[in-house]
Structure 1
Amino acid sequence: MKRRQFIGYAGVGLATAIVPTFASYLPANAQSGGVSVQWLGHTCFLFTGGGVKILVNPFRQLGCTAGYRLPKVSADLVLISSQLLDEGAVDGLPGNPKLVFTAGSYEFKGIQLQGIAIDHDRKGGKQFGINTAWKWQQGGVNILHLGGAAAPISLEQKILMGRPDVLCVPVGGSDKAYNAEEAKQAIAVLNPKIVIPTHYRTQAADPNACDIAPLDEFLTVMQGTTVRRSNSDTININSGNLPDSSLIQVLSYKF
């Protein structure tokens, strides 16, 4: 039986929140169906579509995120993958968005969400605990955000995740997320249509407190896969025109 859980409010605090073409690369303000995906730095994204705004993994400015702007954007729902400060800092978000941070099945404004537990380290979760990967459909597009996954994807997890249209996958390594080779293996398992790499070193990083690799290491490992680079931090993706095989989409961050 499908387990139903409650969705809490960000303003209440974490402890009390229990609770599926080739992409149409259109200008961010284009009026098209589907979903708008905005990269706010690190593993933080804002997904807008179907009249709903979903924010994933807002962070604090420290270490690898020191030079990014705080993602204080308006959202209806906030999903976080862990309570580490680079994936689960909800203080100061505008309004009173609803918050989900625990694996399970949820419904929000007609959107079905699935939080899937996967280890946040390579030691069975003993070092950094459990990461929650988030799966949902918005604007007709199947989205899977792996958060800070660090463990291989099991058969059971693969069944829950399905084949995403858009996969946000960490690629920079460290003790708490996939490195380039591990990200490649996850992509092979999931066979997504569009891959958006996350959790890699940029000029936002504090050089003395950031141990993740730059994007180039992942792109080198993925040689042979088409790479598209956007001059914007935002793309619109339409469900009617997705690629048949995986394509890597790199978004730009305006410092």
Structure 2
Amino acid sequence: MKRRQFIQYATAGLASSVVAGQAQAQSGGLSVRYLGHMCFLFTGSGQRILVNPFRSQGCTAGYRPPNVQTDLVMISSQLLDVGAVDVVPGNPKLLVEAGAYNVGGLKIQGVATDQDRVGGRRFGRNIAWRWNQGGLNLLHLGGTAAPITLEQKILIGSPDVVFIPVGGSARAYNPQEARQALQVLNAKMIVPMYFRTSAAKGECDLGGLDAFLSLMSGTPVRKGGNSLSMSRSDLPKEGSVIQVMNYA
């Protein structure tokens, strides 16, 4: 296995660099590239962040491995459909545990949640990642089927953009659970992920995207390709918008 640079928890001694990083993060914009499943590459504020690289099998069999250059990898669990860090080239830094971090001036919070509906007893813990990049407060929920607790909501704060699983299964929100989580989060932009696509081959217990979109009827939907540039001006002034990203 490749040697990775694990990052330790942030400490009080980093306070000055955190403040500087927050100022840097407020400028510019953000580029988001969808690599399939729960995997996205975020580029902005002088950093590239890859979340949840996967191995191509089952639900992801038809996707190309996310073999992209990045400065930092954040994974929600060490299961191979969300934490296959060995497919990523080079030696990027790696975040795998809940906690507060400062990485290159970006303040990042990993929030522990349960992956399943039985207190994590079946699949263990999931890490939801919250950070500010390109002037946007981002939340990638990873793979979770558990409701958001009050303590988790305090750590998560108020995201502008949330990346949320919607395909159901034993360790991801079904459409009804996703809608309930969104009512708690109150994000401006919703990016659905972790649903069944034509990439699935063999065993895959995810449902498709249509059931979620149908349940969320009344919320405007924007459809685009696998890459998206966004800034605060792209957020709706009132309510929410669903941004569907397609694999290409």
Q: In structure 2, give the amino acid aligned to 1:229.
A: K
Q: Which residue of 2 aligns with 1:153?
A: 148
Which SS does the other structure have where 1:240 is aligned? helix
Which SS does the other structure have where 2:87 is aligned? coil
Higher relative contact order (CA 8 A, sep 6+): 1
Q: Which residue of 1 aligns with 2:189?
A: 194
Residue-by-residue CA offset, 1:39-68 (whole Å, 9 max, x unaligned): 100000000001100000000011100000
2:240 aligned residue (239, 243, 246) = 246
**Are residues 1:179 and 2:170 paired?**
no
C-alpha distance in 1, partners of 2:36/2:155? 27
Q: Which residue of 2 aligns with 1:125?
A: 120
Contact 2:116–2:145, Cα closer than 8 Å, also in 1? yes
Q: Please give the residue correspondences for 1:16-95 in structure 2 after superposition, counting only pairs within 5 Å.
A: 18-19=8-9, 33-95=28-90
**1:13 CA drift (Å):** 5.0
Q: In structure 1, give the amino acid aligned to 2:31.
A: S
TM-score by structure 1 length?
A: 0.87
TM-score by structure 2 length?
A: 0.89
**1:138 CA drift (Å):** 0.3
**1:246 CA drift (Å):** 1.2
The aligned length equals 230
Q: In structure 2, give the amino acid aligned to 1:111.
A: L
Contact 2:53–2:87, Cα closer than 8 Å, also in 1? no
**1:163 CA drift (Å):** 1.5
**1:17 CA drift (Å):** 5.9
Contact 1:81–1:147, Cα closer than 8 Å, also in 2? yes
**Are residues 1:12 and 2:3 paired?**
yes
Question: Which one is further off, 160-169 or 78-87?
Answer: 160-169
Contact 2:115–2:172, Cα closer than 8 Å, also in 1? yes
Unaligned runs of 5+ in 2: 10-26
Q: Which residue of 2 aligns with 1:7?
A: none
Q: Which residue of 1 aligns with 2:219?
A: 225
Contact 1:18–1:102, Cα closer than 8 Å, also in 2? no
CA RMSD of aligned residues (A): 1.6
**1:33 CA drift (Å):** 2.8
**1:123 CA drift (Å):** 0.6
Q: Which residue of 1 aligns with 2:94?
A: 99
**1:240 CA drift (Å):** 3.4
Contact 2:33–2:42, Cα closer than 8 Å, also in 1? yes
1:164 aligned residue (150, 159, 172) = 159
Residue-by-residue CA offset, 1:119-166 (whole Å, 9 max, x unaligned): 000010000000000000001011000000110001111111112111
Query: Which structure has the highest helix share of the two?
Result: 2
C-alpha distance in 1, partners of 2:207/2:185? 23
C-alpha distance in 2, partners of 1:69/1:78? 17
C-alpha distance in 2, partners of 1:241/1:18? 34
**1:251 CA drift (Å):** 0.7
Q: In structure 1, give the amino acid aligned to 2:83.
A: G
Percentage of identical aligned residues: 57
